[in-house]
Amino acid sequence: MFPANNLCDLWYNRAMSIIDKNLVLVSSAIVFKVEKDNDLWFLIKNSDDDEWQFPKTVMRKGESSVRGCIRMMGEQGAMTLLLLEEAGRAGGVTTINEKTLPQRHIYYVAKMLSESGEAIGFEESEWLDYSKALRRITSKREKAMLKQAKVELTKWRKKQAEKKKKLALAEAAKEAE
């Protein structure tokens, strides 16, 4: 049996040998906040094509998609996040320096925990309720990811409610003893 560090190193090396070195990994944050019992979703306007979408970042060398997502929203969005769940993945290609490369997008559902100011890293941004956000987004992929994010958020909230219920039952049983 291998010690934990060696096993992790073996797994990491195996995974890195499978991954295409030219793969462009993009992480996207589907961020929501609760305001007056209403979920608001964070969208940005892309200056390149004038479309509303979710914030995205290309991963730095050695950076995980989760860490990249948190970094981007901290640096550009001036907010801290709690990543709840992966909403989905998508593939495609991109062109960099006249070279076509494979690209993978990973979308995460994230709850905004705190804001430390204005989201200055984005040209334009808005918090919208679900129906307005869905109408504002033009990309079919992004609309599908928002729909899936809402599903994942509902599942996450149910799990949280179940945990609270179990904790309350355990505390009640403890007090009854």
Q: CATH no. for residue 37?
A: 3.90.79.10
User: What's the total number of domains in the chain?
Assistant: 1
The pLDDT score that the predictor gives to residue 127 is: 94
Residues 170, 173: Cα–Cα separation, whole Å: 5
57, part of any domain: yes
4 lies in some domain: no
> What does the pLDDT read at residue 149?
95
1 part of a folded domain = no
Q: Is position 16 within any domain? A: no
Q: Can you give the pLDDT at residue 8?
A: 47
Q: Is residue 86 part of a domain?
A: yes
Domain of 55 in residue numbering reads as 22-176
Domain assignment of residue 9, yes or no: no
Which residue ranges in the chain fall short of pLDDT 70?
1-21
pLDDT of residue 119: 77
Which residue in this structure is represented by tokens 């599908």?
144
Q: What is the pLDDT of residue 62?
A: 82
Q: Which pLDDT tens digit goes with each residue over 117-143?
A: 777 778 888 999 999 999 999 999 999
d(CA 81, CA 102): 28
Asked if residue 152 is part of any domain, the answer here is: yes
In a domain, 141, yes or no: yes
State the pLDDT at residue 19: 52
Give the model's pLDDT for residue 12. Answer: 46
User: Between β-strands 79-96 and 56-58, what pairing exists: parallel, antiparallel or unpaired?
Assistant: unpaired
CB 57 within 8 A of CB 137: no
First to last CA, the chain: 44
Cα–Cα distance between 17 and 160 in angstroms, integer? 38
pLDDT score of 21: 67
